[in-house]
């Protein structure tokens, strides 16, 4: 009888271990570049930016990891997307409510910001300029303290707002007019 009980306990323990191993193998691995969200609500206007945060990891970022003069997904993994509920002006240009992909073309002194109607893209590999909704340039500012992770912030500023993208020792600020 003791052997039967011991056998049952061992069999049960083996089944539990097997289930735990299967669950561990099925669990997704954490991303090297985690997802992040920046949001802003002002009156009826809601803006949300969803992006993945690449890390510097002791690498030279702009001009190397992110080459100058080439379209970049403005983040890591899936291309960064912005969603807005009301018409706004961004970079001085009107933009209708909806969701857009944010691409950029970094240079040493300025970035070209591109808002595209093409959604659900991985990286910039399938970037199609025919899907551009609008483009504008913003100057690059140098920051004293290096930022380890790409960070996108949305801040209210007076009657408008600004979207700041900062990584390593570079920062760009994109003016946003919140229309009524």
Does this model's pTM top 0.95?
no
pLDDT tens-digit profile of 1-14?
A: 555 454 545 445 55
Neighbouring C-beta atoms of residue 30, cutoff 10 Å: 6
- Alpha carbon 113 to its chain centroid, in Å, reads 14
| Per-residue confidence (pLDDT) for residue 158, from 0 to 100 | 86
Nearest Cα to 66, choosing from 136, 143, 123?
A: 123
CA dist 85 and 98 (Å) reads 6
CA dist 102 and 113 (Å) reads 7
| Per-residue confidence (pLDDT) for residue 137, from 0 to 100 | 97
- With beta carbons less than 8 A apart as the criterion, state whether 137 and 103 touch: no
CA angle 163, 33, 86 (to 5 degrees): 30
Domain ranges of the chain: 29-178
Proportion of the chain above pLDDT 70, given as a percent: 82
Q: Hey, what are 39's tokens? A: 């949001």
State the pLDDT confidence band at 17, using cuts at 50, 70 and 90. very low
Going by their DSSP bridges, the two strands 132-157 and 93-95 should be labelled as unpaired
| Per-residue confidence (pLDDT) for residue 97, from 0 to 100 | 97
């Amino acid at each position: 009888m003791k052997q039967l009980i011991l056998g049952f306990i061992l069999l049960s323990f083996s089944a539990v271990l097997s289930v735990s191993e299967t669950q561990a193998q099925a669990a997704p691995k954490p991303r090297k570049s985690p997802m992040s969200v920046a949001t802003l609500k002002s009156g009826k206007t809601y803006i949300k930016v969803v992006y993945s945060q690449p890390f510097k990891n002791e690498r030279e970022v702009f001009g190397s990891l992110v080459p100058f003069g080439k379209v970049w997904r403005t983040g890591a993994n899936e291309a960064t997307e912005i969603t807005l509920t009301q018409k706004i002006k961004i970079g001085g240009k009107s933009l209708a409510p909806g969701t857009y992909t944010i691409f950029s073309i970094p240079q040493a002194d300025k970035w070209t910001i591109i808002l595209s109607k093409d959604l659900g893209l991985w990286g910039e590999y399938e970037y199609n300029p025919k899907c551009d909704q609008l483009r504008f340039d913003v100057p690059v500012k140098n920051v004293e303290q290096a930022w380890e992770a790409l960070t996108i912030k949305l801040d209210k500023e007076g009657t408008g707002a600004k979207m700041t993208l900062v990584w390593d020792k570079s920062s760009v600020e994109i003016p946003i007019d919140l229309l009524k």
